[in-house]
Structure formats: C-alpha cells, structure tokens
Amino acid sequence: MSRRVDRAAAFIAALLTVSITGCGSTEIEPGGPPPERQSGTRLAAHLSEMGPAPAPQRSNRVTSPPARTVHFRSDFDHAITAEPFVHPEKSVEGRPLRYWVFGTGNEVVLVLGGMHGDERSSTEAAYDLLEWACDHGDGLGDRKLVIAPDVNPDGNVALTRRNARDVDLNRNFPAQNWLIEDGGHGPGLYPASEPETRFVLALLRMYAPTRVIATHAAAACVNWDGPAEALARRMSRECDLPVEATIGYPTPGSLGSYLGVDLGVPTITFELATKETVGAALDGVRRALLVGLLPDPAGAPAAAPLGGLSGPPAR
Ligand SMILES: [Zn+2]
C-alpha cells in the first residue's frame, strides 16, 4: 500500500466511523436503511471537527486484512476494488467508458473527471474519490455516488483537451446555447454527436442525479451553474480554490449550460489549480469533494427536479 493511500486511510479513519464491510455493497442492513441523512450528518460533524490532515499512523494490527481484489488500477496507481460498470458504447477510438456506483440512497451525486484529456489532475482527483468510496461507499446513507473518472479516455491517452474527433466534449452537450459558429471551439457537428457526450447523458438519464460535480483544470476556482452557489462556497472552504461565478469566457454547449442553466440541476465545475497532477493540494481537494457529497444544510431551498431531462436528441 502506498504512502499516499496510508495517509488517505488515516484521513478517512478520522472522518468516518463507518465499518469497512465491503466495497460498493448494495446490501441493506436488517431492520431497514439508516435514518434519513444520518450518515451525512455524521460526516458533516466529523468534517467540522477536523483540523489539518493527520500524519500517517503506525498500525497496531497484527494480522493483515484479507486481500481484496483489485478490479482496476488507475494511471495514478489507485487500487480500485469495486467492479466498474461499462457503458455499451465505446469511445471514438474504442476505449471502454467506465463508471462506478456506490450506495443505495435516492439522493444521487454524479462526479465526472477527465472531460478534457489534458487536464490529468481532474482524472486523478476523481480516482482519489473513487478509491475512498471503495472503502466507505457503504456508509453513504441516503446518498448514492456515481463516478466516471475518465470521461474522455482517448484525450487522456493523447493528452489532448478534445476527443479523438477533435471535439471539445464540454461544448457538445445539447444546451440551448450550443453553437456551431465556425466550429473553432470544437462543438461537434451537432449536440451530443460524440459517444463520450452520450455516455454522460446516459448516466444522467439512468441515475437522475440531484447534484453533479465535474472536475477540470486549471482555472483554479469553484464555479457553479444552476442553484449551487451555496454548495460551491461550502466546497471552496475546504480547499484553496476561490468561488467564481464565471470561468471568464463563454462556454456554449457545456455541461453546466445544459444541466445547470437549462435544467436547474446544481452543477459544480471544480477547476483545480494545476493540470498535470493535483500534487500537495490533494487532501484539500478530497475534503472539498467529500463536502460535495453531503446533503444541503437544513432549510436550504430544494433543487428543481430533473423534469426536463430527456436524453440525447435522436440523430
Ligand atoms: Zn476542462
């Protein structure tokens, strides 16, 4: 186990008191699920009590825990012990489009990484959260977490922002402001023309998330679309990234335009500070993403339902 994972384990031990009984378990405890929002409340309480990340601790354990099957290993050496789901359609170059699901709750948080292939840190941060979920996904209470850490695998391999057909996936969503113009910004021939965009739309249709967080780099801010300003501020407090109402340039056909502006779903564009790797900011980034999983505080206005979501256009 790497030193990074040891540190993550110590962090998490301080964070949660859930038992580690398996990975991505869908079993419901006898006597029914935990009380509404119980685990989220516990997570919130722990987060509020936490200081800086604790130093790695020497384990008193005498015997080793039983070995767990590693189903997937990320480029950043995350050992992912939950089995992925694979979207039926592959990327343009034929790579699998993977995602993972944890928990059985009705409140669904969708986390997307790597939409821009050259923003490697965005993939790393999502895999880091995924590795956390492998150990703690059974303590999500009324939450369900859906993670697709590598939305643009061809771009990730080629280190290009766009996919293998030179389309910017974050300009290819069927938002009202989708724009072909001269095509210089890579919107695709029509909205949802790309298999990777359709992958994300399929996740939205299947899981109807009540909140979506997409990791990007390197605008170094927490940006929001839809009714997510308060969430952006809560996440910002956990890391060094300021809240920004706009990225600073137009983003027609973006996920935020489609989901946040058009459909009213709280959508966070979590812009990391560096592109290659999250580096030393990882603990704060992880804390911010964990806060992103928490329920809204009591009294917060409810988000609009996903009534307008009907999937990709039939073209
Ligand atoms: Zn990006």
pLDDT digits (tens, 9 = 90+) for 128-139: 999 999 998 888
**135, HSE (Cβ side, Cα atoms, 13 Å):** 19
Contact 217, 119 (CB under 8 A): yes
The rounded Å distance from CA 122 to ligand 1 centre is 8
Structural domain for 67, as ranges = 2-21+39-291
E strand spans, 8-83: 72-73, 79-80
- Position 74 in a domain: yes
* Residue in 261, 241, 249, 263 with CA at minimum distance from that of residue 308: 263
Between 205 and 27, the more confident residue is 205
What is the distance between the alpha carbons of residues 291 and 47, in angstroms, rounded to a whole number? Answer: 8
- Burial of 78-99, coded b for 16+ CB within 10 Å and e otherwise, reads bbbbbebeebeebbbeebebbb
CA 163 to ligand 1 centroid distance, Å: 12
84: phi then psi, degrees, rounded to nearest 5: -80, 155
At 85, list the tokens: 């789901």
Q: pLDDT grade, residue 181 (50/70/90)? A: confident
User: Would you place residue 225 in the very low, low, confident or very high pLDDT band (cuts 50, 70, 90)?
Assistant: very high
Task: Give the separation between CA 9 and CA 55, rounded to whole angstroms.
Answer: 11
Q: What is the mean pLDDT of residues 43-56?
A: 51
Distance 288 CA to ligand 1 centre (A): 18
Provide the domain count of the chain.
Answer: 1
Mean pLDDT of 91-106: 96
**What CATH code is carried by the domain that includes residue 146?**
3.40.630.10
Q: Is residue 215 part of a domain?
A: yes
Is residue 31 one of the residues assigned to a domain?
no
Residue 63 reports pLDDT greater than 80: no
Cα of 287 vs its chain's centroid, Å: 13
Q: Is residue 38 over pLDDT 60? A: no
CA distance 134 to 125: 14
pLDDT for 156: 98
Q: How far is the CA of 162 from the centre of ligand 1 (A)?
A: 10
What is the distance in A from the centroid of ligand 1 to the CA of 312? 21
**In angstroms, what CA-CA distances link 155 with 117, 150, 158, 308?**
4, 9, 5, 30
Q: Is 50 within a domain?
A: yes
CA 263–ligand 1 middle distance (angstroms): 21
Q: For residue 260, what are its two tokens?
A: 């946040």
pLDDT at 15 over 60: no
More confident site: 288 or 5: 288
Q: 70 in a domain, yes or no?
A: yes
Tell me phi and psi for residue 204, to 5 degrees. -65, -40
For the whole model, what pTM was predicted?
0.77
* pLDDT at residue number 43: 46
pLDDT band per the 50, 70, 90 thresholds, residue 236:
very high
Q: What is the DSSP letter of 75?
A: T
Task: Look at residue 285 in the predicted model and tell me its pLDDT.
Answer: 98
Q: Residues lining ligand 1 (ion), CB within 5 A? A: 116, 119, 216
pLDDT computed for residue 260 by the predictor = 96
Q: How far is CA 21 from each of CA 10, 25, 59, 138, rounded to the nearest angstrom? A: 17, 8, 19, 8
